[in-house]
Amino acid sequence: MKESQGNPLHLKSLNHISLVCRSLEESMDFYQNVLGFVPIRRPGSFDFNGAWLFGHGIGIHLLQSENPENLPKKKEINPKDNHISFQCESMGAVEKKLKDMGIEYVRAMVEEGGIYVEQLFFHDPDGFMIEICNCDNLPVIPLAGEMPRSCSRVNLQVLQQRQQIHQVVQQ
């Protein structure tokens, strides 16, 4: 495997994802009322139909398809398909809300070293996969060279405490 070159492009963060949709209105409704994104201003110089939304630290750029009838429609919810994942505060609350909204979903569970991560997968109106998880339970551990990280400040503090204890025990 090739050695990592750090951050050669000097990237700062994920800015947005762009999704082509059958119905701009239906997709806007989904991203606003299911996932909690809010519409934001997009450049008026664009000569195509679309909308920008923002939430949870990232943007969603929706683009109205010029040929919506030609867009493939995914029906099967496959957790191994391309998707975007959001962390949540309460998996139970998310599952209840999805049931209340009549949104079909698939549950999954990941276990690593006694740590469990719950996952819920479902589609947006165009079949793009969405995952909701409590992934911050699982530490982000680089393969080599760097300190373990966490998606959660609380879990990061626990990891740092464990490392300090491990270092003291080794001395």
Collapsing DSSP to helix, strand or coil, 121 comes out as: strand
Q: Does the annotation count 69 as an active-site position?
A: no
Active-site residue, from 3, 25, 131, 146: 131
120, 105 Cβ separation under 8 angstroms = yes
Nearest C-alpha neighbor of 55 from the set 81, 24, 87, 23: 87
CA 38, CA 56: separation in Å to the nearest integer?
Answer: 10
Residue 63 pairs in a beta bridge with 20, 50
Residue 134: count other Cβ atoms within 10 Å of its Cβ. Answer: 19
Question: Which of the residues are catalytic?
Answer: 131
